[in-house]
Amino acid sequence: MTATFAVPARADVPVEETWALETIFPDDAAWETAYDAVDARLSEFATFRGHIAEGAEILLGALQLADELDELSGKVAMYAGLHRAEDATNTRYGEMADRADGLGSRLEAATAFIQPEVAALPAATVTAWLTEEPGLATYRVAIERITRRRTHIRSTEIEELLAHAAEMADASEVTQGVLEDGELPLGVIQDEAGLPVRLAQGNLQRYLDSADRRVRQEAWESSADGYLAFRNTFAATLAGAVKRDVFYARARGYRSSLAAALDVDNIDPAVFHNLLDTVWRNFPVWHRYFRVRRLLLGLPAGDHHVYDLEAPLADTISFPWQRGVETILASLAPLGDAYVNEVRRGMAEDYSETLNDSRSTIMEDMTRAFGRAHEGGDDDDQAQ
């Protein structure tokens, strides 16, 4: 029998085709050093706690310390998280990623006093400080977001408790990710040439998008069977995530978890509901669109299924990985040379994996490079 093709294990992929996580930390020992450094410096926030109202320079110092440790903590989390993404069943990096999550929760708890103390400031004081202290200009959006949401910000003690609860509250989501990315069997199908292929998260979309309808159908049915076999587990993890969102909404005094989620970006729930209403009113347009797709695919009436929704309507164009990178970089040209060059550097330094059985795709790899380009440019985290 012909051997079944599967996406190779990462250990079997040439090193030049894998991302270079040593650009974050040279090795696990350096990661441990950074982890310990963040953990040891959390006590420095005691200098600022309870003193924000004393002056703009105190607030600035607290925000700058939070930024510094947040950046290093983010690198700790990224290094461990990307290693776990290489193989979701790797217990060593799974444990490191869990520790990084715990460190992030402790950092949030240590900085929990900032929002309540800023929210308690008179509006006139905030306005004056933003004018008088040039360093606060970097944090203007974050500070204004805090003042806008002041009615939903709790006391320092409660904010600290909510921060400590985050790691526990995310357990359902973490469980879902480990199951889906590392342990969920998606089955074996025959590819366009009739050769057996073992489906994985890293190659599934390629077969769902196949121009061969048989391949699309087999890929969809096989993967759907995999998910259905664990439907009760997925339902339980979803229920856990819903309960988490409801808990946080109630803790902050929102009428619903929807309102809580939208308020982060200052979106009125009416906008969300108007969007849904608009989609419902225009369903006939979608029906016409799917009818046209069915005709272009040459399918008879009543024979248009879910696995046909992403079928290509034109010939698929294949080109090398590097050409894909250059195409995306060209699309970023309007953002300026500095931005494009930073993303290019990230890709050149192996911020990507060309082949892996995880969920990583070129767009996700480019997203990591985009994050590199944005590094140091977003200080809204303390307002979340």
CATH of the domain at 55: 1.20.140.70
**Full pLDDT tens readout for the chain, 384 residues:** 455 556 666 666 666 667 778 889 999 999 999 999 999 999 999 999 999 999 999 999 999 999 999 999 999 999 998 888 887 778 899 899 999 999 999 999 999 999 999 999 999 999 999 999 999 999 999 999 999 999 999 999 999 999 999 889 999 998 998 899 889 999 999 999 999 999 998 899 999 999 999 999 999 999 999 999 999 999 999 999 999 999 999 999 999 999 999 999 999 999 999 999 999 999 999 999 999 999 999 999 999 999 999 999 988 777 787 888 899 999 999 999 999 998 888 777 655 555 555 444 444 444 444 454 444 334 444 434
Question: What region, left, alpha or beta, does residue 194 occupy, with left being phi > 0 and alpha being psi -120 to 50 degrees?
Answer: left
| Integer Cα distance of 74 and 3 in angstroms | 42
**Is 212 domain-assigned?**
no
Query: Which domain, by its residues, includes 48?
Result: 13-169
SS3 189: strand
245 is a domain residue: no
Has residue 179 been placed in a domain?
no
| 207 close to 189: Cβ distance less than 8 angstroms | yes
pTM score of the predicted model: 0.77
- Phi, psi angle pair for 337, to nearest 5°: -65, -40
149 occurs within a structural domain? yes
Count of beta carbons in the 10 Å neighbourhood of residue 26:
10
Task: Please report where in the chains the tokens 């009436």 appear, as a residue.
Answer: 301
Residue 79 resides in a domain:
yes
Three-state DSSP at 205 gives helix
30 assigned to some structural domain: yes
- In a domain? residue 247: no
Q: Does the CA dihedral 259-261-266-269 come out positive or negative?
A: negative
Q: Please give the single-letter amino acid code of residue 132.
A: E
Q: What are phi and psi of 259, to 5 degrees?
A: -60, -40
* Nearest Cα to Cα of residue 87 among 171, 212, 201: 201
Q: Tell me how far CA of residue 4 lies from CA of 8, 48, 183, 358, in angstroms.
A: 11, 61, 19, 18
Q: For residue 151, tell me if it sits in a domain.
A: yes
**How many domains is the chain partitioned into structurally?**
1
State the DSSP H helix or E strand holding residue 272, giving kind and residue range, or none if neither: helix 269-281
